[in-house]
Structure 1
Amino acid sequence: MPSSKPQANVCGTCPIDRPETSMVAWPDTWRSPAPTPLHLLTAAHQRGERCALVTVLGIAGGAPRRRGAQLAVTEHGEVAGSLSGGCLDAAVIAEAHAARADGLSRRIRFGADSPYVDVVLPCGSGLDLQFDGALPIHTIDQIAAALTARTLVSLRWESATTPATLSNPEDADVVVPPSMRLLIAGASENLRAMALLAAQANIDVLALTRDQGLRQALAAAGIDAQEPVESQWPVLPIDAWTAALTLFHEHEQEVPFLRAALASPAFVVGAMGSVRAQTQRLDLLRAAGVDPTSLARLRGPFGLLSRTRDPNELAISMLAELWQHWRQFAFNEPE
């Protein structure tokens, strides 16, 4: 496992003066395969390991992460999430270990107006970070249930020294959406490139292809790849946090998948191809009985770059537009 010793400093040059913890030997840290900090929190709890959770509750000025960004670190040094572009995380991890060691909650300003005058963020901003060293067991169980059900995790802090509890979204300080899921159907190297790139971006990918060799290659890379069965398409695992995309050259093969996707709550439905291909696709869907309101949901040609000529280029183009839709849907950020 790759590791680097966490230090209470920024860029290895500015020690934080914490006499009460300066003699504690923290474990080496390593990046977790968990897709999110909350997944690491619940996994650590299941194996009987304590885990600290850090949440961005306030931003003064600009910041590389949005409000609600999180980082989790276990007692053995497994880390998920990040709160900066690299200038702050080592100091945050050291502080998280201190919170976990004493099992307490506290809120600390880093950057502008921080008591840690040696920790200066290059952007000049200030971050208010909530450190929860020991969340109550029932709260972790509630978070685990929400992650399994793919529902919002709404967190609220009564004070800086009390750990988070779950609340209604309207009363929450932070609302964490479920992880993005991507359901893609297609064939050839276009599907392979899109699935691999999306998985690398921590997107939960389900690939549907009739190509057995491609299914095996994707499965070897840890990606769920299945043979499409048309009778199952109406009950595909598509919720509001799922995107559905097709990457076919034979547009007749798209129709059953797109009919099911357009009838689902997917936050975006898109298809690869040219403007001409999109026109042909819409004609096929109309002939199959898809109503005009559903047809208006179909985005195509999908991707921010025009006339891509390479599978990786196409995947980057489509993933960029996908993330644009996700930011607007999950975080209400403008395109």
Structure 2
Amino acid sequence: MSVPALDASTVIEPIRQLSDAGGAGVLCVITHVDGPSYRPLGAMMAVLEDGRRIGTLSSGCVEADIALHAAKALDLSTPYTVRYGKGSPFADIVLPCGGGLEIMLLPRPDVAVLNTLLSHHVARQACVLEVDQRSGTLCAVAQGATGWTGDVFSIAIDPEIRFLIFGKGPETATFAGLVQAAGYPNLVLSPDAETLDAVAAAGCTTRHLTHAHCPAGLGIDGRSAVVLFFHD
């Protein structure tokens, strides 16, 4: 089974937090979806050794129980899989969507591999995380699709969608505010100081346009959305 690549926003924060913690925690990955699911195949959550949870794999139904299993995985120092919903032995934990999830728990993931994934993220490069189900060994490779190949589960990770917003006036500021609130990386380019001040107050990154040409060095790629709000 293979599915489209995940947007990096789905997985990058759990990876970053585990890297910052020196790998002291558990990487939790959805490896099988049966029926409807709140999160897609390959989505990740981290549970740190101190109990902190980063990310979510459901609408809040299973995260506390995952944390308990993560503590067990740390004690055993070995990966294992837990199932919720359809076919699960945990009759008291119900998924409202009616589906089933299998989640692989990977204790103390290799920080070098996590850092490689983070480097690809910063460079806006696609990458693939491969996980050996038996050993828990991680490997970062350049190509592949999300899904199983024998005992290896792969998670393809695309760069985040980002927005380059050109324009001035309230439409520009409103749209940029929505993009920022939704958590997408963005850059607002405008010749108008009032517009730049408004979007900067919303937390957006800004650049002053000084001529009617696309500035160099924007790094526009296939995961960049370019939006124009100039009336002329």
Alignment of 1:243-262 (within 5 A): 243-250=225-232
CA separation in 2, counterparts of 1:122 and 1:43? 29
TM-score (norm 1): 0.58
The alpha-carbon deviation at position 236 of structure 1 amounts to 2.0
CA separation in 2, counterparts of 1:102 and 1:180? 38
CA separation in 2, counterparts of 1:127 and 1:240? 32
The answer on 1:67 being equivalent to 2:41 is yes
2:192 equivalent in structure 1: 211
The alpha-carbon deviation at position 52 of structure 1 amounts to 2.6
More helix by share: 1
Alignment of 1:72-87 (within 5 A): 72-76=46-50, 78-87=52-61
1:235 equivalent in structure 2: 217
Instruction: Identify which of 170, 180, 183 aligns with 2:161.
Output: 180
Larger radius of gyration: 1
Q: Which consecutive residues of structure 1, in runs of 5 or more, have no partner in the other structure?
A: 1-33, 251-335
2:5 equivalent in structure 1: none
The alpha-carbon deviation at position 78 of structure 1 amounts to 4.8
The alpha-carbon deviation at position 178 of structure 1 amounts to 1.4
TM-score (norm 2): 0.80
Percent of aligned pairs sharing the same letter: 26
The alpha-carbon deviation at position 207 of structure 1 amounts to 0.7
The alpha-carbon deviation at position 246 of structure 1 amounts to 0.8
- The question of whether the paired residues in 2 share the 8 Å contact of 1:130 and 1:160 is answered with no
Alignment of 1:153-232 (within 5 A): 153-170=127-144, 173-230=154-211
Q: Which consecutive residues of structure 2, in runs of 5 or more, have no partner in the other structure?
A: 1-7, 147-153
SS in 2 for 1:233: coil
Structure 1 residues 198, 104: closer, same or farther in 2, change over 3 A? farther
Greater RCO between the two (CA within 8 Å, min separation 6)?
2
CA separation in 2, counterparts of 1:52 and 1:87? 19
RMSD between superposed Cα atoms in Å: 2.6
More strand by share: 2
Alignment length (residue pairs): 217
Structure 1 residues 185, 79: closer, same or farther in 2, change over 3 A? farther
